A and B are shown apart, each in its own frame.
Chain A
Amino acid sequence: MRKFLAVVKREYVQRVRTKFFVVATVLGPLIMAGFTVVPAMMLGMKSGGPTRLAIVDQTGKMYERVAKELMSGKKTSDDEDEQTPNQPPVGNNNPKQRVEQSGKLFRGSYLVEDVPLKGRAIDDVKKDLETRIENRELDGYLVLPPNLLKEGQAEFRARNSADVFTNNYVAGAISSAVRGQRLAEEKIDENSVDAASVRVQLKTTGAEGRESKGAASFYLVFGVGFLIYMTVLLYGQFVLGAVIEEKETRIAEILFSSIRSFPLMMGKLVGVSLVALTQLGIWAMAFLIFSAWAAGGSSIKLPRIPLMMFVYFAVFFLMGFFIYATVYAVVGSMVTTTQEGGQLALPVVLMLVSGLYLSFNIIRSPSSPLAFWASMFPFFAPITMLVRIVTETPPLWQILLSLAIGFVTIVGLVWLAARIYRVGMLMYGKKATIPEVWRWVRQS
């Protein structure tokens, strides 16, 4: 046991002290931000001042409601959901909504202006407004046709018609206003309908604080999936490198004359995993401190992440690490050079990448059968299950089952790896073939 700890200590201390560790710890979050947050922000960000919209109200009674909705920016998404029942029935978690919610974070304010017709033809008014858009006095205009309430169609002309966030937002605002007006005309109290809608929402989503989580999840999901992919890959490679170094330099010979191969291999895996946890811990701390600072009145809004997420992340990281690092240890003991190791490890990397790609699909429908099975398959689960937890937390039994499968897999892999490792580490000169390796496993 003390020898095992000696291996753990060496592995940990030697790695944490390297320049690479320090640099990676500092630059890691920046790179992560570059990969995930920045594209999301760029997509959603409104540059410049408030969006100036003109409203041509041909109904003669809708302007106030629409203007109010646009300026207040409340309950847009809820209304939107109700107005479009043909969306895929995945509750509150469909990507469209998520896009919109994250858009909300970056949405600028709106300036609304009433443009009365005053007897002019609608086309003339439009022409005027077009000119103003060209002169950059306006960002867009909205035409509410006389039959808006019946047909439910409005016209939105924007300078940038590809701006998904604004389009969705405006659509939501009009929908909400139209709904309010319709209800009013039917003499139904709007507030009671709102209350009723809220109750329905609560039933479908559970008692969690949906709103904050939903808003965060858009890029949080990508961030988390990518982060676990990166760290498992990086630290798995460290194990590969460490094993190859000991084999190449023949240190293994001395090590094996002092310690059994099993505690040696486990010491290596545990040591490197602690290095990874240290790094992730530093990132988590930095994140918490930074978001606490940001919450105290800065313009940057960081997603609020429930503490349980950190626990899940650590647990699934460890699962991923031990699965992949064990495979890497086997690969390392089979080859003679780092280059060979890279080639032989390629299928392993592909497996990990598949997990990442699958998670794109899972984000869209986190409760689908595909998502379920992908998050039960131990080689994908570290990424896919975590993605599911972030998007739409599956029942606890699924999480526990996934972890249990992962645990059994790790035990099996370690058992197998220890046998291959012990023989492989003392085989010099050539790469081991699969039949050879199989013989080692059977013989020991």
Chain B
Amino acid sequence: MEELKPTLVLDHVSKSFGDFTAVSDLSLQVRPGRVFGLIGPNGAGKTTTIRMIVNITAPDSGRVELFGQTMSTALQDRIGYLPEERGLYKRMKIGEQLRFFAELKSLRGAEAEKRIDLWLKKLDLFSWKEKRTKELSKGMQQKVQFITAVIHDPDLVILDEPFSGLDPVNVELMRETILEQKAAGKTIILSTHQMEIAEKLCDDVCMINRSRKVLDGKLREIRRSFSRNAVALQFQGGDGLLNDPALVANIRQHGDDTEVLLVPGASPQELLRRLVDAHVAVTKFELVEPSLHDIFIEKVREVA
């Protein structure tokens, strides 16, 4: 994997609007065939970053390199983009609309027609092909919008908050579709402020906060390095058993779970042994890796 050339490289990229700095000295690499999560709270600079990647705006300084070339309009056809703010022509028929957006990506004729039908069928929209946008529900419009991002079979697909406004059935459909794209060798950039989604889908992540990168790398490695020796427990009985400062650093209640943070160096096995010895009915005992959310909070605090 490592020897493959990165699909996308951002090299010390900055962008400001007047006094406001949207992106500050951001460097990152997106490797081919992986799902790359661009995560951070609203207003962190995700959308501006994406706009520079798709060549809508140019960075004030730094360089954007795609497929080994400096970003240019010619490369735009190899990118598919689903913006956070969805937009379709309200009075245009779905089929025509897709044809237009395909043409803008240099895909036309019978091939375009074939792919339009294929995608409409795949996302259960084929019967709506001759309907106008305004007749469609929000979720349907979003799926149409998604098709505009992938219709021309781009090598890099950029999805900005692809799940917002979808019902659970369509969330699942979208998730499968994204994974299919990945399986087909596409590189996917997923921008979201919903950490749980990023956790489920991403191979790599880059966290940004207030225009700056706070962390990036492979998701698995990040989580391992942030492992805090914590255990999620569900049990009955054994009062006071956890009040041992030599073993337990902190206790938090998460719904039914009790999250026990062990002191550094302490063994989770020791905790389990004590519980068993005390005849506590243990229904759940799980080593927890920190969530992206926790990691993010921790990183942000660290920086501040």
Chain A positions within 8 Å of B, measured between CB atoms, are: 2-3, 6-7, 10, 14, 245-246, 249-260, 426, 428, 439
Complex CA–CA separation, A249 to B91 (angstroms)? 12
13 contacts between A and B (CB under 8 A): A2-B108, A7-B104, A249-B87, A249-B89, A249-B90, A250-B83, A250-B86, A253-B81, A253-B83, A253-B87, A257-B81, A426-B56, A426-B57
Known A-B contacts A6-B103, A257-B56; the reply to A249 vs B73 at CB < 8 A is no
Least CB separation from B93: chain A residue: A14
Main secondary structure of the interface of B (DSSP, over half): loop
B188 at the interface (CB under 8 A from A): no
B225 at the interface (CB under 8 A from A): no
Complex CA–CA separation, A182 to B87 (angstroms)? 83
Complex CA–CA separation, A256 to B47 (angstroms)? 14
Main secondary structure of the interface of A (DSSP, over half): helix
Provide the residues of chain A in CB contact with B88, threshold 8 Å: 249, 251
B129 at the interface (CB under 8 A from A): no
Complex CA–CA separation, A256 to B91 (angstroms)? 20
The answer to whether A257 touches B79 (Cβ under 8 A) is yes
Known A-B contacts A254-B148, A426-B51; the reply to A10 vs B100 at CB < 8 A is yes
Known A-B contacts A3-B104, A3-B106, A257-B79; the reply to A250 vs B87 at CB < 8 A is yes
Provide the residues of chain B in CB contact with A257, threshold 8 Å: 54-56, 76, 79, 81, 83
Given A6-B104, A256-B56, output 6 extra A-B contacts at Cβ < 8 Å.
A14-B89, A245-B89, A253-B56, A253-B85, A254-B83, A257-B54
Number of A-B contacts defined by CB within 8 Å: 65
Provide the residues of chain A in CB contact with B108, threshold 8 Å: 2, 6
- A265: min CB distance to chain B, Å: 14
Partner of A259 from B85, B104, B148 at Cβ < 8 Å: B104
Complex CA–CA separation, A32 to B56 (angstroms)? 44
Least CB separation from A259: chain B residue: B104
Provide the residues of chain A in CB contact with B57, threshold 8 Å: 426
Provide the residues of chain B in CB contact with A245, threshold 8 Å: 89-90
Least CB separation from A264: chain B residue: B104
Provide the residues of chain B in CB contact with A249, threshold 8 Å: 87-90
The answer to whether A260 touches B87 (Cβ under 8 A) is no
Complex CA–CA separation, A254 to B51 (angstroms)? 10
Provide the residues of chain B in CB contact with A14, threshold 8 Å: 89, 91-92
Partner of B89 from A7, A251, A259, A426 at Cβ < 8 Å: A251
Provide the residues of chain B in CB contact with A246, threshold 8 Å: 87
The answer to whether B55 touches A2 (Cβ under 8 A) is no
Provide the residues of chain B in CB contact with A428, threshold 8 Å: 85
B63 at the interface (CB under 8 A from A): no
B226 at the interface (CB under 8 A from A): no
Partner of A258 from B51, B76, B86 at Cβ < 8 Å: B76
Complex CA–CA separation, A10 to B88 (angstroms)? 13
Complex CA–CA separation, A260 to B71 (angstroms)? 13
Known A-B contacts A253-B83, A426-B51; the reply to A258 vs B101 at CB < 8 A is yes
The answer to whether A2 touches B83 (Cβ under 8 A) is no
Complex CA–CA separation, A258 to B148 (angstroms)? 11
Complex CA–CA separation, A258 to B80 (angstroms)? 9
B105 at the interface (CB under 8 A from A): yes
Provide the residues of chain B in CB contact with A10, threshold 8 Å: 96, 100
Complex CA–CA separation, A253 to B85 (angstroms)? 8
Complex CA–CA separation, A124 to B83 (angstroms)? 95
| CB-CB contacts below 8 Å: B29-69 with A | 51, 54-57
Least CB separation from B89: chain A residue: A251
Provide the residues of chain B in CB contact with A426, threshold 8 Å: 51, 56-57
Complex CA–CA separation, A3 to B148 (angstroms)? 15
Complex CA–CA separation, A428 to B108 (angstroms)? 32
